[in-house]
Amino acid sequence: MTESNYNKSYKSFSRELRNNSTDGEIILWVEALRSKKMHGYQFNRQYAINNFIVDFICRKLKLIIEVDGYSHQFKRAKDKLRDDKLNSLGYCVLRIDEYDIKKDFDNVIRHIESVVLEQEEKIQSP
């Protein structure tokens, strides 16, 4: 992989996380992100970037999608620091609550699509 921020030392841990995905991650992956279902863009799961493993990434759009479960309520400050670092690397970080994926999937998809289109505009205009 030629991604400059890819951290291959996390490869086995990434694989382990893929094999132990949350229900929300599985739903989002199967229903919306795998096989270029989201406007033809390729997403990867549990991708190691810098010192983090992100839930989903579209490298072409510089878009990261994080699925936040219950435990994230108690680590908002840590998540903000993480997001700030990823933003400084040029990535847009979209956080989605796992509850919303399970209970309001159509609106989650609409929201992701709107962010995808915004990112698409950014990469097309210098």
Domains identified in the chain and CATH numbers: 8-124 (3.40.960.10)
72 closest CA partner among 115, 104, 24:
24
Span 72-82, pLDDT tens digits: 566 888 999 99
Alpha-carbon distance of 43 to 36, in angstroms, equals 7
Give the closest residue to 6 by CA, choosing from 19, 68, 37, 14.
Answer: 14
Hey, is 13 helix, strand or coil?
Answer: helix
Which structure tokens are listed for 113?
């699509």
Q: In this structure, which amino acid lies at residue 70?
A: Y
Q: How do residues 3-61 score in pLDDT, each as one tens digit?
A: 567 767 666 645 666 666 899 999 999 999 999 999 999 999 999 998 899 999 999 99
DSSP, res 88: H
Point out which residues pair with 50 in neighbouring strands: none
Predicted local confidence at residue 58, as pLDDT: 98
Distance from the first to the final alpha carbon of the chain:
25
Task: Report pTM.
Answer: 0.85
- The answer to whether 60 and 123 are in contact (CB under 8 A) is yes
